[in-house]
Amino acid sequence: MEQAMRDFFLFLAKNKTMTKLAKRYGLKFGASRFVAGASLDSSISAIKKLNEKGMPVTIDHLGEFVDNELEAKEMTEHCIDAIKAISKENVNSQLSLKLTSMGLDISDDLVMANMRKIMEAAEKYNVFVTIDMEDYSRCEKTLEIFKRLKREFDNISTVIQAYLYRSLDDVKNLNEYHPNLRLVKGAYKESQEVAFPEKSDVDENYKKLIETHLLNGNYTAIATHDDEIINYTKDLVKKHSIPYDQFEFQMLFGIKVERQEQLMQEGYKMRIYVPYGNDWYGYFMRRLAERPANVMFVVKGVFGK
């Protein structure tokens, strides 16, 4: 039943009609638990509250299924506005973005032009940028664009997904760039031809990625809510005397808040991924797919306590 629910929500996440309806009717049906509002101002407010607790942040202006040049340019300007706001408000935040929002599916020239604009602003205002990984069909292009930009800018990272067979090779091949990488399990529905179908295999691959990247001496963001992976990382860094400033844990806004605070109190860097914007639908569906128990929160939110 849980797998069926996961598949159902991942199917809904890719539904363009539902995405358009969600934009029209706004943040409802429990999404506000995981999304910090529709506006940049609302995200800045959330950042300040988290910073007051001692937690750094990465913000993401949500957007998917961008299929025209005008919208891609608008999304680019949103990112630049966010970079400026981070600097102006003097908050401890990075920026995360998706290449499909910048025109990846439209043309290589467009996405590169938009990304260079963003990176030039990020360099000017001293803001770090992470390119989120999307589904498998866009993995290779995403990594190629990351490598091109990494040759020009230092303040950039990307994401590697543990459920893909190729990921350990990707981590090894990227090592020459000494990259800052965010390591995640992966939240898209993928074929067994390209991804591990069993959670146990995903977890084992995740551990290999963490170990390989940390022992290569690279900065590593372990983005997980899984206590097994968290405890594995703690044991690994203790065993190899890896300094605390070489890695951080990351969790999603609104999920396992007490665990976030506990890790921070234990002395670990705990960064919170804070999404905002009207285009929240696909992100929200993937959060429900990751943990179907989240559905009960939504039901309670819609129909009462």
Residue 303 CA to residue 300 CA, distance in Å, equals 5
182 an active-site residue?
Answer: yes
Tokens 């809510």 sit at which residue?
Answer: 225
98 known ligand binder: yes
Burial of residue 267, with CB atoms counted within 10 A of its CB: 0-12 exposed, 13-18 middle, 19 or more buried: exposed
73 known ligand binder: no
Neighbours of 263 (CB within 10 A): 19
* List 182, 203, 271, 279, catalytic entry: 182
Residue 291 CA to residue 288 CA, distance in Å, equals 5
The 3-state DSSP class for residue 81 equals: helix
133 known ligand binder: yes
225 known ligand binder: yes
* List 105, 132, 203, 279, catalytic entry: 132
The 3-state DSSP class for residue 216 equals: coil
271 known ligand binder: no
Buried b (16+ CB within 10 A) or exposed e, 278-294: bbbbbbbbbbbbbebeb
| Backbone phi and psi for residue 57, each to the nearest 5 degrees, phi listed first | -140, 155
224 known ligand binder: yes
Residue 19 CA to residue 140 CA, distance in Å, equals 26
161 known ligand binder: yes
151 known ligand binder: no
CA Rg value for the chain: 18
Query: Which residues are documented as binding site for substrate?
Result: 98, 286-287
Binding site, by residue number, is 98, 133, 161, 185-187, 199, 224-225, 286-287
Residues classed as catalytic: 132, 182
> Binding site for FAD: residue ranges?
133, 161, 185-187, 199, 224-225
